[in-house]
């Protein structure tokens, strides 16, 4: 009887344990299924379509790449994009039916196939930048990883930015206007600011076509930036942009004149398509010289670096070739111990995409940030994202799969130029 009772007791306990284990197993399986992404078979992922939309009169291009698994990727191109709707469609036709996970291969396929269509620079590369970025976003979403992880991992969790204050929008801004804008940016938490000192309508200009600045222009430039330095003190970094509107003579004079103000950099005092001229200016001053926003692909930066023509490179990742190419440019400049400080005039999608690259390279210095993110509601309407855009002068790096910022088509629609197809 005792043996029989023990047997029955043990059997009941075993059955209970078995039921408990079965229930736990079922719950674990359900949890695993819930956690498995739709793209659990990435080898079956194929590109089915590519669509695009424009804002800012066509100077901002947004691309979406669609797949057979319902996953899509978003990318952005800037500046060299007006009138490129059909170029987007042509590139899309060249990658339809292919796996989006081979980002470098697809980039090279599109670039090589356009060798006689302008794939060395300009509009072709600006559009390709948007397409390539969308491929990274799509791949990250498919594999459940943020883009920085796909690019090899991160050196930093947040990306320092300088605030382009937009003081140039004031007609004939005074030194006091510059000082006020600088103080406002510092109160917002930024530790670096940027000002433009090229003024097309400066009354001190003798000739609208001659690029040599007059003494009156030089005095105005110095007074504006001196007011900024006085307003923010010695620890806030100051960047100065001249938009390539002058010549080497003016470049040398401005760089030398600004030395006491200890700029973070002087950006493109004259067009950067002559590296030898940049070498002359760089050798003449202690003010760091920065260039590269209108250079394309890593090829475009090779001679600047080989000659030692710049102290800092500033590719625009929304037109220089995209995220993979941006990392190649950074790695190339790192071989010369040159800092990497990307130009950025895109939306928050472009800013976060650039941030993923900035996180992955050791020689990152600083990224551009625009005051319009705080003043123009459009830039919050056209994208969706989590958390603050910027905090204490840094972009918090997204940990979401892909870029971490999405396109809001409905928010963008009212800003789209008329007569141009919108995500069709």
The CATH number given to whatever domain includes residue 82 is: 3.30.390.10
Q: Are 24 and 37 in contact (CB under 8 A)?
A: no
Indicate the pairing of strand 158-164 with strand 394-396.
Answer: antiparallel
What is the distance between the alpha carbons of residues 282 and 277, in angstroms, rounded to a whole number? 9
Contacts of 12 (CB under 8 A, 6+ apart): none
Task: Give the domain-ending residue among 145, 178, 196.
Answer: 145
Q: Given a cut of 50, is residue 76 above it in pLDDT?
A: yes
Give SS3 for 407: strand
- Give the per-residue pLDDT at 30: 52
What is the distance between the alpha carbons of residues 99 and 67, in angstroms, rounded to a whole number? 9
Q: Which among 77, 105, 76, 106 has a CA at the least distance from the CA of 94?
A: 106
Q: Are residues 219 and 335 in the same domain?
A: yes
Q: Which among 58, 159, 182, 198 has a CA at the least distance from the CA of 397?
A: 159
Q: Please report, for residues 125, 211, 237, 312, the alpha-carbon distance to residue 329 in angstroms, rounded to integers and kept in the order given.
A: 15, 30, 24, 12
Q: Are 254 and 221 in contact (CB under 8 A)?
A: yes
Task: Give the domain-ending residue among 145, 161, 180.
Answer: 145
pLDDT band at 85 (very low <50, low <70, confident <90, very high): very high
Give SS3 for 23: helix
Q: Are residues 384 and 239 in the same domain?
A: yes
Q: Are residues 119 and 153 in the same domain?
A: no
What is the distance between the alpha carbons of residues 85 and 58, in angstroms, rounded to a whole number? 9
Q: Are residues 225 and 244 in the same domain?
A: yes
pLDDT (tens digit per residue) in 48-66: 999 999 999 999 999 999 9
What is the distance between the alpha carbons of residues 95 and 105, in angstroms, rounded to a whole number? 10
Mean pLDDT of the chain: 92
Tally of domains within the chain: 2
pLDDT (tens digit per residue) in 102-128: 999 999 999 999 999 999 999 999 999
Q: Is 221 part of any domain?
A: yes
Please give the structure tokens belonging to residue 212. 């040599």
Q: Count, in order, helices (H) and strands (E) of the chain.
A: 15, 13
Spatial strand order in the sheet of 60-67: 47-55, 60-67, 72-78
- The boundaries of the domain holding residue 361 are 149-400
Q: Given a cut of 60, is residue 28 above it in pLDDT?
A: no
Q: Given a cut of 70, is residue 167 above it in pLDDT?
A: yes
Q: Which among 329, 269, 319 has a CA at the least distance from the CA of 293?
A: 319
300's enclosing H/E stretch is helix 299-306
Q: Given a cut of 90, is residue 21 above it in pLDDT?
A: no
- Give the per-residue pLDDT at 27: 54
What is the distance between the alpha carbons of residues 336 and 119, in angstroms, rounded to a whole number? 26
Q: Are residues 141 and 175 in the same domain?
A: no
Q: Are residues 114 and 171 in the same domain?
A: no
Q: Which parts of 233-274 fold into alpha helices (H)?
A: 248-257
pLDDT band at 16 (very low <50, low <70, confident <90, very high): very low
Q: What end-to-end distance do the CA atoms of the chain give, in Å? A: 81
Rounded average pLDDT over 323-350: 98
Q: Are residues 384 and 243 in the same domain?
A: yes
Output DSSP code: residue 404.
S
- Give the per-residue pLDDT at 42: 75
Q: Are 251 and 270 in contact (CB under 8 A)?
A: yes
Q: Given a cut of 80, is residue 39 above it in pLDDT?
A: no
Q: Are residues 111 and 179 in the same domain?
A: no
Please give the structure tokens belonging to residue 263. 């700029």
The CATH number given to whatever domain includes residue 276 is: 3.20.20.120
What is the distance between the alpha carbons of residues 277 and 252, in angstroms, rounded to a whole number? 10
Q: What's the residue count for the chain?
A: 424
- Give the per-residue pLDDT at 41: 64
Express as a percent the part of the chain with pLDDT over 70: 90
Q: Are residues 184 and 170 in the same domain?
A: yes
- Greater confidence (332 vs 22) lies with 332
What is the distance between the alpha carbons of residues 107 and 85, in angstroms, rounded to a whole number? 18
Q: What are phi and psi of 353, to 5 degrees?
A: -60, -45
Residue 174 burial class via C-beta count within 10 angstroms: exposed 0-12, middle 13-18, buried 19 and up: middle
- Give the per-residue pLDDT at 43: 72
What is the distance between the alpha carbons of residues 231 and 291, in angstroms, rounded to a whole number? 27
∠ CA 101-323-242 to the nearest 5 degrees?
165
- Give the per-residue pLDDT at 169: 76
């Amino acid at each position: 009887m005792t043996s029989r009772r023990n047997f029955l007791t043990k059997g009941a306990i075993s059955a209970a344990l078995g039921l408990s284990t079965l229930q736990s197993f079922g719950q674990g399986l359900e949890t695993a299924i819930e956690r498995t992404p739709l793209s659990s078979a990435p080898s079956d992922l194929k590109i089915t379509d590519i669509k695009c939309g424009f804002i800012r009169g066509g100077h901002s291009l947004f691309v979406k790449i669609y797949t057979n698994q319902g996953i899509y990727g978003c990318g952005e191109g800037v500046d060299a994009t007006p009138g490129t709707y059909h170029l987007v469609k042509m590139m899309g036709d060249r990658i339809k039916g292919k796996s989006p996970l081979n980002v470098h291969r697809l980039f090279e396929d599109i670039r090589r196939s356009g060798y006689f269509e302008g794939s060395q620079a300009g509009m072709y590369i600006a559009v390709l930048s948007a397409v390539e970025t969308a491929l990274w976003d799509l791949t990250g979403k498919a594999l459940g990883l943020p883009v920085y992880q796909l690019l090899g991992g991160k050196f930093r969790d947040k990306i320092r930015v300088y605030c382009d204050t937009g003081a140039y929008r004031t007609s004939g801004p005074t030194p006091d206007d510059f000082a006020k804008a600088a103080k406002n940016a510092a109160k917002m938490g930024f530790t670096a600011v940027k000002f433009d000192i090229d003024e097309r309508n400066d009354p001190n200009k003798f000739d609208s076509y001659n690029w040599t600045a007059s003494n009156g222009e030089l005095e105005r430039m110095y007074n504006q930036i001196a007011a900024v330095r006085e307003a923010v003190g010695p620890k806030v970094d100051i960047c100065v942009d001249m938009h390539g509107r002058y010549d080497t003579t003016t470049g040398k004079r401005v760089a030398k004149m600004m030395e006491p103000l200890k700029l973070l950099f002087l950006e493109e005092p004259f067009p950067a398509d002559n590296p030898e001229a940049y070498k002359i200016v760089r050798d003449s001053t202690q003010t760091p010289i920065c260039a590269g926003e209108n250079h394309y692909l890593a090829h475009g930066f090779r001679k600047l670096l080989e000659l030692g023509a710049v102290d800092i490179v500033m590719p625009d990742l929304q037109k220089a070739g995209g995220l993979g190419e941006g990392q190649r440019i950074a790695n190339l400049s790192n071989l010369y111990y040159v800092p990497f400080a990307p130009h950025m005039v895109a939306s928050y999608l472009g800013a976060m995409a650039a941030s993923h690259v900035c996180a992955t390279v050791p020689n990152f210095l600083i990224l551009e940030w625009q005051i319009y993110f705080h003043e123009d509601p459009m830039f919050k309407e056209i994208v969706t994202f989590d958390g603050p855009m910027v905090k204490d002068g840094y972009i918090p790096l997204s940990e979401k799969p892909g870029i971490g910022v999405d396109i809001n088509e409905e928010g963008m629609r009212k800003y789209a130029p008329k007569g141009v197809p919108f995500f069709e």
